[in-house]
Amino acid sequence: MSKKKGIHFEVSERKILLRVLDLVMVYLGVYCLSLYFDFEYIVVSAENSVALILLGVYVSIFATIFELYDLQKASRLDTTFKNIVITASTVVLFYLLTPVLSPFLPIERIQIVYLYVTIIVSILLWRLVYINLIESPRFYKRVLLVGEVSNIDGLIKALDTSDPNYRIVGFINSEASSADSVKFTGLKEFAATEFLETIDKERISEILVASFNTEAIMAEVYHDLMLLLERGFKIRDYSQVYEELLQKVPIQFVGKDFYKYFPFSRSNENKLYIFFHRAFDVTFSLIGLIVGVLLLPIILIGNLMGNKGPLFYVQERVGINGKPFNIVKLRTMVVNAEKDGVKWAQKNDKRITSFGMFLRRSRLDEVPQFYNVLKGDMSIIGPRPERPFFVSELSRIIPFYETRHMIKPGLTGWAQVSTRYGSSVDDSLTKLQYDLYYIKHRSVFLDFSITIKTLSTILYYRGQ
């Protein structure tokens, strides 16, 4: 068997590549601007190092907020172009508003336009190369799936849209089959006897093992897997890849050995992390309450005209270790919205008032919860607190549901920035997968990522 494999980029490698080349192209564009045009606003030189670093920081931060590093969106030119224009507009605006660190405004204001156009063109040129080269089939990761036929369909659907460069080209049935065995026609099946030949012929980069009954793996398949492992070929477990690509825990594939899947983050017991996390909560909640007070006159007028009733709404929720507490929100539904009983909030729910929809979309309805954060009932970041009625129902249906109560609930969280609003049991299962991923990988970096994604959610008006 040949050891030669196709060239491909991992998810993390592509994100780093996008970030680094964005900055390189912006600096190259500014350099060319000053080299070939009469441009003096910002010149690439040691004297301007602070201004240049600030420009790079702004590009990195706002490109993240406006989703230039979302791989799904980065593979589409129309979305990428829109996000580049928004990013460049915000970068230039903030650059002009920080004259202490950035250069003083040029006498010829047209130079600001030159900088704006240069940022757009330089990043766009690189992204055109990325979409047409790095995203082309020659850089796809070609994967061979090894598992039971009965599970193949669900496994493929879960990974199908996770990464545009991750392609499962076929599968090998790990169980002995007979004439009466169920056949799967949604993906090409390769014979177990031609395992090694298939890897060469199909230029396979990685083998994905998705067998939930390892004792049922055929001897010849097991032997070839061991041989490949000894030769240094990349073989990975399905749950590992699922978690890496989708950034959520595959609880639907977790059985009695659940403890193997939940080696929860050390940050949950790291006193320094917990201290800074609480300090961030207190600081941010104080700022949030001050902003809320400043916006209160506008909210009162909107509530008077569009809500017609009490401004605040108090509701019982389940907190850390299953302890109930009262959450405070701005009311977004009609008075007595649950007179017919407790039920999920649906998309375009008729119970939501016109002003209430604005509050939800802008996330302003969450502002009073900064009080809950200040009290210690909640954190800024964590699983969203659910109502006792739904917790009771969902705990009976979804395994590990109450595991999400091992940390404080949050005002925003990994599930909130990664998936849609939950309005069913299936949605709750998806949210739980993201919540467990956060608990499992909790860290300063993940908290920062959630904060940035929350800003994106607010700016793109995606609340519900």
Q: Range with the lowest mean pLDDT among 63-67, 83-87, 383-387, 454-458?
A: 454-458
DSSP string, 242-286: HHHHH-S--GGG--TTGGGT----GGGT-HHHHHHHHHHHHHHHH
Q: How far apart are CA 341 and CA 381, in angstroms?
A: 30
CA distances (Å), 191 to each of 203, 404, 455, in order?
16, 42, 49
Task: Give the mean pLDDT of the chain.
Answer: 85
Helix (H, G, I), strand (E, B) or coil at 402: helix
State the pLDDT confidence band at 353, using cuts at 50, 70 and 90.
confident
Q: What is the pLDDT of residue 261?
A: 62
**Nearest of 358, 253, 252 to residue 298 by alpha carbon:** 358
Q: How far apart are CA 343 and CA 450, in angstroms?
A: 28
pLDDT tens digit string along 234-267? 898 888 888 888 888 887 766 656 666 666 777 7
CA distances (Å), 60 to each of 38, 46, 91, 393, 447, in order?
27, 21, 9, 43, 17
Locate tokens 């890496």: which residue? 244
Apex 451 CA angle, 445 and 457, nearest 5: 135
Locate tokens 């850390």: which residue? 320
pLDDT tens digit string along 305-339? 888 888 898 999 999 999 999 999 998 888 877 76
31 phi, psi to nearest 5 deg: -65, -45
Q: What is the pLDDT of residue 9?
A: 73
pLDDT tens digit string along 269-292? 788 999 999 999 999 999 999 999
Q: How far apart are CA 230 and CA 337, in angstroms?
A: 63
**Nearest of 308, 413, 403, 329 to residue 371 by alpha carbon:** 329
Residues shown for the chain? 464
pLDDT reading at 188 higher than 70: yes
Angle, in degrees to the nearest 10, between helices 271-302 and 444-459: 10
**Residues ≥6 apart with Cβ < 8 Å to 241:** 159, 208
**Nearest of 159, 137, 142, 145 to residue 201 by alpha carbon:** 142
pLDDT reading at 175 higher than 80: no
Query: Can you name the residues that pair with 114 across neighbouring β-strands?
Result: none
Apex 85 CA angle, 79 and 90, nearest 5: 125
Q: Supply 275's token pair.
A: 């201290």
pLDDT reading at 11 higher than 80: no
**Which of 68-72, 73-77, 189-193, 274-278 is most confident?**
274-278
Q: What is the pLDDT of residue 184?
A: 64
Q: Range with the lowest mean pLDDT among 162-166, 241-245, 366-370?
A: 162-166
Burial class from Cβ neighbours inside 10 Å (0-12, 13-18, 19+) for residue 253 reads middle
Q: What is the pLDDT of residue 336?
A: 76
Q: What is the pLDDT of residue 6?
A: 58
Q: How far apart are CA 187 and CA 202, in angstroms?
A: 14
State the pLDDT confidence band at 85, using cuts at 50, 70 and 90.
very high
pLDDT reading at 178 higher than 60: no
Average pLDDT over residues 365-388: 94
Burial class from Cβ neighbours inside 10 Å (0-12, 13-18, 19+) for residue 217 reads buried
pLDDT tens digit string along 107-163? 777 888 889 999 999 999 999 999 998 887 778 888 998 887 766 777 777 777 677
Q: How far apart are CA 334 and CA 174, in angstroms?
A: 56
Q: How far apart are CA 394 and CA 404, in angstroms?
A: 12
Residue ranges of domains in the chain, CATH in brackets = 11-134 (no CATH), 140-246 (3.40.50), 266-459 (no CATH)
